[in-house]
Amino acid sequence: MLTFQHATLKNGLDIIAEINDNAQSTAMGYMVKTGSRDEAAGVAGVSHFLEHMMFKGTPRRTSAQVNEEFDAMGARNNAFTSNEVTCYWATVLPEYTGRCLDLLSDMMRPSLRDDDFSMEKKVILEEISLYLDRPSHILFEAVMGDHFEKHPMANSVLGTHAPADESLF
């Protein structure tokens, strides 16, 4: 039987739990209320960029340690950015719930090291190029652009090859 629980912490963070006593795994994630709809045209793709940077380490863990810890738990983990939300998630065996929650929570405070910015910029530019080889993606972005025109929803979630507007930082 599924049950749902909801709590709001003093800092405003909503915790929502779907509990199934018969489940053989634990799934958890952070749903961050930011996506391309929240970005000015000059910084389109910044939410997606930050999604990538979250895996580059924290003050407590290097990027290698983040990956090694997920691997040691046998976790299935990833992240995605959409127009409205960025999600960081993982599934693990129940005995790793606390450890996984600690790791995901730590990732919510990334180090954002300068050295990682230029490397990840290259990764994202490659990702954009890969998507530009997909006709369905090109069509979807064209429809979004035509429909939303100057609204931020017209911006690409991935970002663009164009340089960011430095005056906005």
The reply to whether 18 belongs to the active site is no
Chain-centroid distance of CA 108 in Å reads 10
Largest CA distance in the chain: 53
Catalytic choice (18, 51, 95, 141): 51
Q: Are 106 and 61 in contact (CB under 8 A)?
A: yes
Reduced to 3 states (helix: H, G, I; strand: E, B; else coil), residue 11 is coil
Residue entry with tokens 């924290």: 58
> Rounded to whole angstroms, what are the CA distances from 167 to 17, 40, 43, 147, 151?
41, 12, 10, 28, 20
Give CA separation, 39 vs 34, 49, 136, 159, in Å.
Answer: 9, 12, 23, 10
Catalytic (active-site) positions? 51
